């Protein structure tokens, strides 16, 4: 800790010497507003009752199963998640693509995001015409997978969760003060209180932020409250990860989730694991190779590996959801 403060103070001193409020600005400035994908002709924008989302109702009278769809640290209503929403809608799922940060009326930074955001989304879904309130699932990736698993363990009645690039723990908030100065806030809050969380440790290296997540996980035994209690989830779980990931250790954290379910006697997750894929491992198959290349740049893996992973995993995700959210067999 003393060494960290010496580093921080040295950086502060250097910035002040060159006329900086740059350091303070870096720590406190909000990120640029996230892009908001339009709902399009088969969806509609929802902006009421503290919900900001795109909603894609399944066609036909129903009742239909419904999905709460959660993007990651990109915030807003991203186009990649919109593609997933459209695919889920076409497969017969009424889908709410929920914006939970960096969107109108939401926190700009991903820190202390109220879990009540997700509860409101689920409650809203259950009340929609044509939705079967007894057949609700969650689909999310990256920080959306972290939130999705946490919400699934705290929300009765969620029957299935399909989560890509997942986390086994709750992390610090994604803000400059956390990365540079230590653990200041959680990613999530509950009833106004930060959810117990794991601090980032160490400094980025030539792989980017991977090292600070690995450093945090090495101290997990000292911070057991940060572990997401997956055994409390009564539904079925599917996890997708890429072994060539370079943003955070999603495959090692997948292994931790699996190990905990085994140790606690809970349902074993289905795991889809891809050797040559990175942080772009989960989602609708890429429309063109340029999309795959963009994910390689910041998320790791190869273009071919990410494309193959999505091509293989997406149909399996849809099949999993159809199985787990199927209507109960009618009784004579």
CATH code for the domain in which residue 235 is found:
3.40.50.1820
For 22, the token pair is 């740059």
Mean pLDDT of 216-237: 96
Q: Is the pLDDT of residue 132 over 50?
A: yes
Distance in angstroms (rounded) separating the CA atoms of residues 126 and 68: 10
> 55 in a domain, yes or no?
yes
Position 111 in a domain: yes
Q: What is the pLDDT of residue 12?
A: 37
Q: What is the pLDDT of residue 18?
A: 38
Assigned domain for 7 exists: no
Residue 227 lies in a domain: yes
Residue 331 lies in a domain: no
Residue 20 pLDDT grade (very low, low, confident, very high; cuts 50, 70, 90): very low
The domain total for the chain is 1
- pLDDT per position as a tens digit, 265-304: 999 999 999 999 999 999 999 887 788 888 887 789 999 9
Residues found in the chain: 332
Residue 178 in this model has a pLDDT that exceeds 70: no
Q: Range with the lowest mean pLDDT among 11-25, 46-60, 195-209?
A: 11-25
pLDDT higher for 61 or 100?
100
* Adjacent-strand bridge partners of 239: 163, 271
Task: Give the Cα-Cα-Cα angle 162, 164, 170 (nearest 5 degrees).
Answer: 95
**Rg of the chain (C-alpha set):** 20
Closest CA to 230 of 177, 327, 305, 151: 151
Closest CA to 201 of 185, 225, 220, 226: 220
Residue 8 placed within a domain:
no
The DSSP bridge pattern shows strands 236-242 and 270-274 to be parallel
User: What is the pLDDT, as a whole number, of residue 207?
Assistant: 80
Task: Give residue 329's pLDDT band: very low, low, confident or very high (50, 70, 90).
Answer: low
- Which of 131-140, 164-173, 225-234, 284-293 comes out lowest in average pLDDT? 284-293
| Domain interval for residue 310 | 31-324
Contact (CB, 8 A) for 102 and 34: yes
CB 260 within 8 A of CB 168: yes
Whether 9 maps to a domain, the answer reads: no
- Do the domain assignments include residue 18? no
What's the pTM value of the predicted model, to 2 decimals?
Answer: 0.90
User: CA distances (Å), 102 to each of 72, 74, 145, 277, in order?
Assistant: 11, 8, 17, 27
According to the model, what pLDDT value does residue 328 have?
Answer: 81
Task: Locate 50 and state its tokens.
Answer: 């503290």
């Amino acid at each position: 800790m003393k060494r960290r403060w010496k580093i921080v103070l040295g950086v502060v001193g250097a910035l002040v010497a060159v006329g900086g409020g740059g350091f303070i600005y870096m720590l406190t400035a909000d990120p640029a507003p996230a892009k908001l994908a339009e709902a399009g002709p088969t969806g509609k924008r929802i902006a009421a009752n503290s919900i900001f989302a795109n909603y894609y109702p399944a066609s036909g009278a129903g009742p239909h199963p419904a999905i709460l769809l959660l993007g990651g640290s990109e915030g807003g209503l991203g186009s990649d998640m919109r593609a997933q929403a459209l695919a889920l809608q076409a497969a017969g799922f009424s889908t709410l693509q929920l914006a939970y940060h960096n969107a109108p009326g939401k926190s700009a930074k991903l820190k202390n995001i109220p879990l009540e955001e997700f509860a409101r989304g689920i409650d809203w879904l259950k009340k929609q015409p044509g939705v079967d309130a007894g057949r609700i699932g969650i689909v999310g990736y990256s920080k959306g997978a972290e939130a999705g698993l946490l919400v699934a363990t705290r929300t009765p009645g969620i029957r299935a969760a399909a989560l890509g690039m997942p986390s086994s723990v709750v992390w610090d908030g994604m803000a400059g003060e956390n990365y540079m100065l230590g653990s200041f806030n959680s990613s999530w809050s509950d009833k106004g209180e930060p959810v117990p969380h794991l601090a980032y440790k160490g400094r980025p290296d030539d792989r980017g932020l991977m090292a600070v997540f690995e450093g945090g996980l090495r101290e997990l035994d000292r911070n057991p409250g940060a572990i997401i209690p997956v055994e409390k989830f009564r539904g079925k779980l599917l996890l997708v990860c890429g072994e060539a990931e370079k943003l955070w250790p999603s495959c090692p954290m997948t292994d931790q989730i699996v190990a905990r379910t085994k140790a606690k006697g809970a349902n074993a997750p289905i795991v889809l694991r891809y050797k040559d894929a990175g942080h772009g491992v989960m989602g609708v198959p890429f429309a063109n190779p340029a999309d795959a290349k963009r994910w390689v740049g910041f998320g790791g893996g190869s273009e071919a590996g990410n494309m193959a992973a999505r091509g293989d995993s997406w149909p399996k995700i849809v099949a999993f959801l159809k199985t787990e959210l199927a209507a109960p067999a009618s009784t004579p």
